[in-house]
Structure 1
Amino acid sequence: MNGKTIIAALLGACVMLAVVWFGWSAGWVDVAMTEQDQPGGMAADAGDETTRKVAYWVAPMDPNFRQEKPGKSPMGMDLIPVYTDQINQGASISIHPQIAQNLGVRTAKASVGDFHRTVHAVGYTQWDEASFEMLHPRAAGWIEKFWLKSVGDTVKRGEVLYELFAPLLVSAQREYVTAIRSNNRALIDAAEDRMSALGFTRQQISALRKSRKVSGRLKVQSDRDAVVTHIGVREGNYIKPETNIATLASLKTIWLDVDVFEADSIWMREGLAASVQFAGYPGDVWHSQVAYVYPELDPKTRSLRLRMVMDNRDGRLRPNMFSKVTIQAEPRVDVLSVPREAVIHSGNGARVVVALGDGRFAVNAVKTGVVNQERVEILQGLKAGDDVVISGQFLLDAEANGEEALQRLDSSMDMMMKDSDSQPAQKQAIFATGTVVERTGENTLMINHAPILALEWPAMTMQFRAAPGVSIDHVNSNDRVEFLLEPEADGSYCISELHKTGDAR
């Protein structure tokens, strides 16, 4: 965004403020809590007003001017009362249809239905630990010949791994030959069983039965295609049954460990379908499913680990490859939800602007639940069929909440005093816009923001932390956002409000 665009945006905001102010003065825009707010008995009869409790008094033309008792405003006008029940009912606003059209106000329905969630995560391949095979000798002896040279070597089924000389193996062969010569079936069977227990294969036993020649070395062969992942001995070593000679593993299947954020962990179940893409194979998609959900979260990253078993009979995948994973979670049924754009998040919680009809709008505090790519679950504050504003709600919310209007739309202006008594000044919030680059943590975002004149910052990419209570679950990479920044004690700035306005793509 260049300088001309920034100036045009600021001029547009000022013109919009002027239009809203003029409309309010002319009767097009009426900011009020409820109908009962009108002075002079327009909202309630005199009998009701005598029983209602006054919270404070405000100037008709400046709701920021407050007093605890009746009096005159700086413009010489009588102050009007604001009742406690009006405060509890929440803010509302009435806007002329032409003004609403100029603001680009659009609405959508709060609806009940199936709530789908697509979880995006990253994964890393590793050896299928179920395929590990530890090689141990069945008898103590010496390795006369060792054919495994280094970790990473591949071996084929039937290939000789090492040759072992062991006195016990020689003795077992001699006993078998003696049993054959005696033609005693019981002795032959016992000798064969002993040789099998010591590691001789059926082929080796059959060859000895035919040749009746005792061999000083036992050739140990691989029973499958595999890769050497560990070597524990070398040629000439004396080994015992507890010695780990080597470890073999198969690459026909490979594990994919996937890390998902804590907020997404409640959706994870074994059996969920997933699609996987690897950077080394652009455009290719592997299909798998969640085979195992680990029982605990990582103590450092606060992420939940999942395991998928990938078919790798073609040998294209290798351990330690990076991947992008998309998991389709099971939908939740009968969930009340609204579009994500409808929810305004701030340090004071979430709220939505509800269209009441006839140009009237109300600001409702809501309690939100889970979030997907398009909608937000509403646990409290709305009902099915409510019309919620999904475009222009920032301006409506600002206008309906009086004191926050100039703060949101013109961040470079000083905060106005709340009343005539000199109360301590609040922190000045600064309005900014930008595009989310990525989520870098549970409460941090990398944002490519437009120039921020109030801070004399040029357009650049920065990481911002969300203030406590401010959710960032409703935004993803490439989302266009509007946000408010508030200074912290260390001189940095945190996000006090965050609102999605669209997708940069």
Structure 2
Amino acid sequence: MTESKFTFKSWFSFVPRKWPGIVTLTLLLIVAFSLGAVIFDGSGKEIAITAIDDDHKHDTEKSSTIWTCSMHPQIQLPKPGKCPLCFMDLIPLETGGDDAGDSRRLEMSPAAVRLASIQTSPVIRGSAATEIRMTGRITYDETALAKITSWIPGRLEKLYVDFTGQKVTKGDPLFEIYSPQLLSAQAELLQAVKTLDKIIDNGSSLRSTAEVIVDAAREKLSLYGLTEAQIKTLEDKGETSDRITVHAPIGGVVIAMEARTGMYVETGSVLYSIAGLSKVWINFDAYESDLPWLSEGQEIEFNSRALPGRTFRSKIDFIDPVLNEATRTATVRASIDNTDHQLKPDMFVSGTAYASAYNAGNDNLLIPATAPLLTGTRAVVYVRLPDDDRIIFEGREVQLGVRTGQYYTVIDGLDEGELVVTNGAFRIDSELQLQAKPSMMNPTGERQMTGHEHHQINGKNGAFPSHEESSREKPSSLNIDKKALNSLTPLYQTYFEIQMALANDSQKEAADAYRNLNENIDAIDMSFFEGKAHQRWMDYSRLLLKHIKDGAGAKGIEESRDAFSHLSNTMIEMQKEFGHAEDRDYFLTYCPMTRDNSGAYWLQTVDTVYNSFYGASMLRCGEIRGTLKAAMITRE
């Protein structure tokens, strides 16, 4: 067979001369297409292989795309659709090729760093000094406080100190008292002295006995309030008196007075309270978080608005070992000389104590207080890694010490000189959340379960603990009887009416159900609850009635939903403690977006979310967090 040789030059001989530009362009397009479709031997096999590879590559790219919700980044699905929580359109999630060791890292461009306003500061070593600010009050020195009482029964004949606030000095006369018992005691002393004087023999036992009697009579008068000088005057004059003048045992100011002229008093009646003001105490209130910084002997300075421009200095001499349960503070006391009486009891003061933590020198590891993201149990900081070519931030969990003003001390997790993010850390953390990487709120980086997947949650590898597992086949923690548990059933049923009414956006139905719930509580026989259960029911009923009142009187559906949030918290706690008798499960439901993104829990009787806080606008927003089984009845 004769082989004919075809060339581009021979082909051009058939083409009109005015078309060469068009033909050349057409040929280039044909050649480019042919190179991607056939191989040089014309077998056609390369066409099939190329098509398969292209399809496989397309499918791989398609299957690797993860779709997420901009409002709920924990939602990650393999295909586009609607968010199962809020029904917003899903958006594609860009997945990085980080290794497992880089899962906490985020690479950013210089432009992105500028847009996010990210700033860093080095980890430094320094003195962890801080100022502890406290408020306080001037009070009396309790060691210079005296109660003046009557040592004998009688009648007050005369008052030398007759108003509160009067200053007295030690030894000043306070009052004169008439007492028949005093007259008898004086006569006993005079008689004993006369008997002693008649006994001449100093060495006889009779004289020794007489001396003992004289000493006893003197002691008796001393216990009645007579001074040694008054007793000596009595012996010298030999005259009795049925009246005695009582003198001030200390100097100071009369801060309380009960004595009145002509008043009859008994032994022990309080007549005056006298406080010495030459020295006063200052009681400061220190928060429990500040107590580690304070110690006895530590210097403290304070001032008062009543004395502007003056600063007083003292030392802590006592720290109360017991906290005030209501204010969560402990009393820190200092004392100061007050000879000029400028500081007056009940005067308010502001104090400052200066302290250093851990190491007295500059050996404390410090980071700015704006660097850590605090979750309550963990602290996360973002560190810029030392890379000259790329900007990479790495998240770390660190162990913090105490806060010292604008710094936190670091116990573990960072080294000196490392750069920590002090501004923009939350933006980095948010981006890691969107990429399903470990972050502040999701330390494992695992995909969170949705409300439709609550049956897959377990205590070992779920995103949250399983209430269903913990509540299965457990009796009520208070061990209440069947009658008490059954009496709560109408209460639960009416609560669920409120829950569904709000999910249906019906405030009127919710208000009616609130009123019915009030009647349910009134109908419960409190005698069914015994022992500790009785007190707990009383506590719960008081809380429930308060929330019911708020819900029934709500002026709008938002107020009704706010009352429902508080009502639900009480109902959930009550269910955990008492349980329920109905032969069906209750479902603990949670929505993180309610109440300004602080989240809220409520109970349902179905395992499909019916959001009582958003109603039809986001009816399925939320997730089932647990299943609450009926309580076991351990006694009838």
Instruction: With the length of structure 1 as denominator, give the TM-score of the two structures.
Output: 0.59
Structure 2 matches for 1:314-325, cutoff 5 A? 314-325=340-351
Structure 2 matches for 1:376-455, cutoff 5 A? 376-390=408-422
- In the alignment, which residue of structure 1 is the partner of 2:299? 273
Of residues 362, 368, 372, the one that matches 1:343 is 372
Amino acid across the alignment from 1:371: R
Amino acid across the alignment from 1:156: T
Judged with a 3 Å threshold, the aligned counterparts in structure 2 of structure 1 residues 307 and 78 are, in CA distance, closer, same or farther, namely: closer
- 1:168 and 2:200 correspond: no
Structure 2 matches for 1:8-407, cutoff 5 A? 57=65, 82=97, 85=100, 89-96=103-110, 103=117, 105-111=119-125, 114-181=127-194, 183=197, 186=211, 189-329=215-355, 331-333=357-359, 335-345=364-374, 349-357=378-386, 358=388, 359-390=391-422
Following the alignment from structure 1 to structure 2, what is the Cα–Cα distance between the partners of residues 343 and 366?
8
CA RMSD of aligned residues (A): 4.2
Following the alignment from structure 1 to structure 2, what is the Cα–Cα distance between the partners of residues 120 and 78?
49
**1:222 CA displacement:** 1.0
Amino acid across the alignment from 2:367: V
The unaligned stretches of length 5 or more in structure 2 are 1-62, 81-91, 200-206, 437-446, 453-590, 600-636
- Which whole-Å deviations, capped at 9, do the CAs of 1:276-316 have from their partners, x for residues lacking one? 11111112111122222223222222222222223222111
**1:395 CA displacement:** 5.8
Following the alignment from structure 1 to structure 2, what is the Cα–Cα distance between the partners of residues 488 and 134?
62
Following the alignment from structure 2 to structure 1, what is the Cα–Cα distance between the partners of residues 369 and 422?
8
Q: Structure 1 residues 153-162 or 178-187, which shifts more?
A: 178-187
Alignment check: 8 A CA contact 2:139 2:283 kept? yes
- Which whole-Å deviations, capped at 9, do the CAs of 1:187-238 have from their partners, x for residues lacking one? 6545433332332112223333443333331111113322222223322222
Instruction: With the length of structure 2 as denominator, give the TM-score of the two structures.
Output: 0.48
The unaligned stretches of length 5 or more in structure 1 are 1-54, 72-76, 405-417, 424-485, 495-505
Judged with a 3 Å threshold, the aligned counterparts in structure 2 of structure 1 residues 360 and 490 are, in CA distance, closer, same or farther, namely: closer
**1:164 CA displacement:** 1.2
Judged with a 3 Å threshold, the aligned counterparts in structure 2 of structure 1 residues 240 and 365 are, in CA distance, closer, same or farther, namely: same
**1:156 CA displacement:** 2.5
SS in 1 for 2:225: coil
Judged with a 3 Å threshold, the aligned counterparts in structure 2 of structure 1 residues 363 and 56 are, in CA distance, closer, same or farther, namely: farther
Following the alignment from structure 2 to structure 1, what is the Cα–Cα distance between the partners of residues 159 and 277?
23
- Which whole-Å deviations, capped at 9, do the CAs of 1:210-269 have from their partners, x for residues lacking one? 433333311111133222222233222222222222222111222222112232233333
Following the alignment from structure 1 to structure 2, what is the Cα–Cα distance between the partners of residues 299 and 332?
28
Following the alignment from structure 1 to structure 2, what is the Cα–Cα distance between the partners of residues 179 and 274?
60
Following the alignment from structure 2 to structure 1, what is the Cα–Cα distance between the partners of residues 377 and 228?
76
Judged with a 3 Å threshold, the aligned counterparts in structure 2 of structure 1 residues 68 and 132 are, in CA distance, closer, same or farther, namely: same
**1:118 CA displacement:** 2.0
**1:67 CA displacement:** 6.6
Following the alignment from structure 2 to structure 1, what is the Cα–Cα distance between the partners of residues 593 and 161?
61
Alignment check: 8 A CA contact 1:141 1:165 kept? yes
Amino acid across the alignment from 1:376: Y
Following the alignment from structure 2 to structure 1, what is the Cα–Cα distance between the partners of residues 431 and 252?
70
- Which whole-Å deviations, capped at 9, do the CAs of 1:61-118 have from their partners, x for residues lacking one? x9x89976699xxxxx99755557256x41333444996699584422243x553332
Percent of aligned positions that are identical: 25
Alignment check: 8 A CA contact 2:166 2:253 kept? yes
**1:179 CA displacement:** 4.8
Q: Decide which structure has greater helix share.
A: 2
Alignment check: 8 A CA contact 1:134 1:246 kept? yes
Following the alignment from structure 2 to structure 1, what is the Cα–Cα distance between the partners of residues 153 and 245?
14
Following the alignment from structure 1 to structure 2, what is the Cα–Cα distance between the partners of residues 66 and 144?
90
Following the alignment from structure 1 to structure 2, what is the Cα–Cα distance between the partners of residues 200 and 67?
93
Alignment check: 8 A CA contact 2:135 2:349 kept? yes
Q: Structure 1 residues 370-379 or 288-297, which shifts more?
A: 288-297
Alignment check: 8 A CA contact 1:340 1:375 kept? yes
**1:330 CA displacement:** 5.0
Amino acid across the alignment from 1:200: L
Following the alignment from structure 2 to structure 1, what is the Cα–Cα distance between the partners of residues 398 and 189?
84
Following the alignment from structure 1 to structure 2, what is the Cα–Cα distance between the partners of residues 58 and 277?
63
Alignment check: 8 A CA contact 2:146 2:250 kept? no
SS in 2 for 1:363: strand
Judged with a 3 Å threshold, the aligned counterparts in structure 2 of structure 1 residues 79 and 217 are, in CA distance, closer, same or farther, namely: closer
Q: Which has the larger radius of gyration?
A: 2
Following the alignment from structure 1 to structure 2, what is the Cα–Cα distance between the partners of residues 490 and 65?
20
Alignment check: 8 A CA contact 1:107 1:391 kept? no
- Which whole-Å deviations, capped at 9, do the CAs of 1:361-417 have from their partners, x for residues lacking one? 33333332310113102244323342324456566666666679xxxxxxxxxxxxx
Following the alignment from structure 1 to structure 2, what is the Cα–Cα distance between the partners of residues 135 and 256?
25
**1:340 CA displacement:** 1.8
Judged with a 3 Å threshold, the aligned counterparts in structure 2 of structure 1 residues 176 and 401 are, in CA distance, closer, same or farther, namely: same
Alignment check: 8 A CA contact 2:123 2:415 kept? no
SS in 2 for 1:308: strand
State how many pairs are aligned. Answer: 356
**1:122 CA displacement:** 0.6
Amino acid across the alignment from 2:151: R
Alignment check: 8 A CA contact 1:272 1:330 kept? no
Following the alignment from structure 2 to structure 1, what is the Cα–Cα distance between the partners of residues 451 and 97?
21
SS in 1 for 2:230: helix
Judged with a 3 Å threshold, the aligned counterparts in structure 2 of structure 1 residues 392 and 276 are, in CA distance, closer, same or farther, namely: same
SS in 2 for 1:193: helix
Following the alignment from structure 2 to structure 1, what is the Cα–Cα distance between the partners of residues 188 and 93?
119
